[in-house]
Structures are given as structure tokens and as C-alpha cells.
Amino acid sequence: DTAVSQTPKYLVTQMGNDKSIKCEQNLGHDTMYWYKQDSKKFLKIMFSYNNKELIINETVPNRFSPKSPDKAHLNLHINSLELGDSAVYFCASSRNRGLGFRSSYEQYFGPGTRLTVT
């Protein structure tokens, strides 16, 4: 059973198009994330949702809009795609944020979606 799955695995599209990437986790986690890995392999957080509520929104263009229909799903919709959006996008999930000092949970990542904008 795949813990964190993403679809599609590859996405090739033209500039100006709108596309979506889907993510699902079957781990029962409350928190989900989107990360972007650029051509230089630098990984950076984009968004985080906890119980369907947006809790992290890094400086990402508002062409990117995450949507969490339920705790197990976090989709990423991108409007008006640009060449610079070409990257690998990773979804991840983790248990809820620790409420105590001694809480810190690992994140489980999906296999990634390679987006190529031409």
C-alpha cells in the first residue's frame, strides 16, 4: 500500500495553461504539505494544511492554490503556468503538530510529480 501517492507522475504542458496535481495519504495523518524541488535540486516548502486548514503559506505566487477537500487529500492547482514553474513537486504528510515540547514528527513524502512547462 502506497502511503502518500501523487498523480500524475509526469505532467508536460504549455505556458498559460492551468493544471492540477493530486495528493492522497492513507496514513491517517492530519497535516499535509507541498514542496517544490527546482532544477538545482533545492527543496522548499510551499504550503501546509492541518485538518484542512492552511497553516503555512510561504511566498508562493497566488497562481498556486492548494485545496484540501478532506484530511487525506491535498491538491495543488496552478493557474497560468510559467516556464519557471517547471520543477518536481512533492506532497508530504505527518501527524498533527506536537503540542508539547517533546513532540516532533517525521514527514512522509510522495514520489513526486515532475512538471515541465514548455
Contacting residues toward another protein, per CB under 8 A: 4, 31, 33, 35, 41-45, 48, 50, 55-56, 58, 90, 92, 94, 97-98, 100-104, 106-112
Q: How far is the CB of 5 from another protein (least distance, A)?
A: 11
Contact, 52 vs 70, CB < 8 A? Answer: yes
Min dist CB 13 to another protein, Å, is 21
- For another protein, which is the closer residue by CB, 4 or 76? 4
Of the two residues 35 and 117, which places its CB atom closer to another protein in the complex? 35
Closest distance between another protein and the C-beta of residue 105, in Å? 8
Q: Which is nearer to another protein, 18 or 58 (CB)?
A: 58
Phi, psi dihedrals of residue 60, rounded to the nearest 5°: -115, 140
DSSP-derived secondary structure for the chain = --SEEEE-SEEEE-TT--EEEEEEE-S--SEEEEEEE-TT--EEEEEEEETTEEEEE-S--TTEEEEEEETTEEEEEE-S--GGG-EEEEEEEEPPPPSSTT-----EE---EEEEE-
Q: State the minimum distance, in angstroms, from the CB of residue 81 to another protein.
A: 22
Residue 14 or 41 with smaller CB distance to another protein: 41
